[in-house]
Amino acid sequence: MADLTITAASVRPVGHCIIRRFTAGATITPGQPVYCSANNTVSLTDGSALTTAACIGLAVSNSDGAVSFSSGEEIDVVLFGVVEGFATNLAANTAVYVDDDAGVLADAVGTKVCRVGIGLNTTQLLVNPMLIVSA
């Protein structure tokens, strides 16, 4: 399994995306996958448990270009659309998944399968999260 490398300062939505503002429930860096951890609050995904693997989208830089958000700060999350700012291990037509390490994206599934999106090229990801629960 190879983790994707993100350049936090470069992570931003491209074109028309569905973006929603949440409250950070932990320290979050742009480009990290998040899940709803409480009402209107997001925390870093973790593929080792079903409840924390349910990614809703990727955190992105705000208009100030912030590269880190502390717990309690407002954060923008791309729920659907193209996000750029990836540096390595992303390729066209390659699925991207939640990793077992909190807030990490990988090119292989974690313990619980949650596809975050599909690579469009080496720097852009089409965010379209889907939790896959097998019987």
The whole-angstrom separation of Cα 42 and Cα 77 is: 9
Using pLDDT thresholds of 50, 70 and 90, give the confidence band for residue 9: confident
The average pLDDT across 107-116 equals: 92
Query: Which residues, 6+ apart, have CB-to-CB distance to 85 below 8 Å?
Result: 6, 7, 8, 9, 10, 11, 12, 30, 31, 123
Q: Is residue 116 within 8 Å of 129, Cβ to Cβ?
A: yes
pLDDT more than 70, % of the chain? 98
pLDDT digits (tens, 9 = 90+) for 55-86: 999 999 877 777 899 999 999 999 999 999 99
Residue 135 pLDDT greater than 50, yes or no = no
Please give the DSSP secondary-structure letter assigned to residue 8: G
The whole-angstrom separation of Cα 77 and Cα 19 is: 5
